[in-house]
Amino acid sequence: MGILTKARGGKNLSNLDNNRKFLSIIVIAVTIVCSYICYSTNKANGYQITIGGTPIAYVEDIETFNIIKADVESNIKKRFGKINIDRDIQDSRILVDESFFTSEDDIRQNFINENKIEVTALSMLSDSKEVAIVANEMEGKAVQEYIVKYYISKANLQNVKESRVVNNITYVKKKVKLRQVQDVEGAAVKIINTNYSSNKPLVTVEIKGNVEAKEVIAAATVINNSNDMLQGQTKVQNEGKNGLKIINKQIAIQNRRTVGEQVISESIVEKPENKIILKGIKTSNTSVVPVFSTLSRGTITSNFGERWGKMHNGIDIGAPTGTPIYASMEGVVSYAKWEDGYGKVIKIEHSGKIETIYGHCSVISVREGQKIKSGQQIGKVGSTGRSTGPHLHFEVRLAGTPINPVPYLRR
């Protein structure tokens, strides 16, 4: 029994040792994996570039920055000659979020902005006022050319004959920081933008050229007398037609404002046709139209004749709603109710084939068949039917034909 017990105890110890070894292996493996993950996560993937301790760029590889730097330095020397460029440039390996990597354009601009380089540039003066700082006179002329081309593109001329900068442009040497010197496009755009926002442009460009334009020739109106129509009647015999001509003009423009215009030539493409109106001069065979008594207190606001492209067969007398309306002469009421267009309307027949009409009434005070005396109140002014406001629409018809009542109104 004792020997058996001892054997069993040895086996238990062996199992315990195996478990401890397995746990150790697991711990080592986990440690390795965690260390790898930590290393991968915090691994440096780029460079921070500084000038005088100020960061100017974050790049993936230092060679990219060196290429850009060499190109910028070459350009600076080309524009300003041999100058000393600040060499206090440092780089350090760091972990960078990929969204923080600096673009090439920003690297170039930051290199110039943070570099403590002084250069001898030119102050570009327009009529003795500084409008830009440029590297040299050649760049100053390029700025002017840029501005001229811009305004030519906005002039809408078919043929540009002359373009020039009106101002006196001069240059004066000036010691400035490199970052203060503008490139050609930057200087030109700044001047153009200032021109728009200022009443006094920094630079004025004058452009002369030709433009071809179409112009309407308005049709004339001719009034002819007609023996076939009664006095007071009118009729449009021909509506007429506008013509068309092409005009060649020489235009002078300063920036975007036209300052001069001269007609060089004109050619008629389509001749106009006169509008012809016939005016009646025939005397009626019926009795002479008598003078009408006062209709209502008010002012004539619309006359007899063509109005808004249609014939207006009467006159309109503007007056407040409720103003009395009086019969113009004695007669018999032939109609006293609503009619489309006229609203509440009164029609009276008189001797000599004369009929008078009173439209847009607010109140009708007579009935059909009723005999009316001259000057008798027959209704009140209103705005019924097709009306834009209170008024009396008054018509006179002679043998069924509308005539102008104005010459027969008592004054």
Secondary structure letter of residue 223 according to DSSP: E
132-159 pLDDT tens trace: 999 999 999 999 999 999 999 999 898 9
Q: Convert the pLDDT of each residue in 169-205 to its tens digit.
A: 999 999 999 889 999 999 999 999 999 988 899 999 9
pLDDT digits (tens, 9 = 90+) for 111-132: 888 878 888 999 999 999 999 9
3-state secondary structure of 26: helix
Q: Which of 18-32, 132-146, 260-274 has the least mean pLDDT?
A: 18-32
Neighbours of 241 (CB within 10 A): 14
Q: What is the mean pLDDT of residues 203-213?
A: 94
Residue indicated by tokens 């008592």 = 410
**Is residue 205 a contact partner of residue 148, using CB atoms and an 8 Å limit?**
yes
What is the per-residue pLDDT for 290? 63
Indicate the average pLDDT of the chain: 85
What would the CATH number be for the domain defined by 286-408?
2.70.70.10
Contact 124, 131 (CB under 8 A): yes
Query: Which one has a higher pLDDT value, 393 or 407?
Result: 393
Q: Which of 34, 56, 35 is nearest to 47 (CA)?
A: 56
Indicate the pairing of strand 221-230 with strand 275-282: parallel
Per domain, the residue ranges of the chain are 46-116, 121-207, 211-278, 286-408
Class of domain 211-278: mainly beta
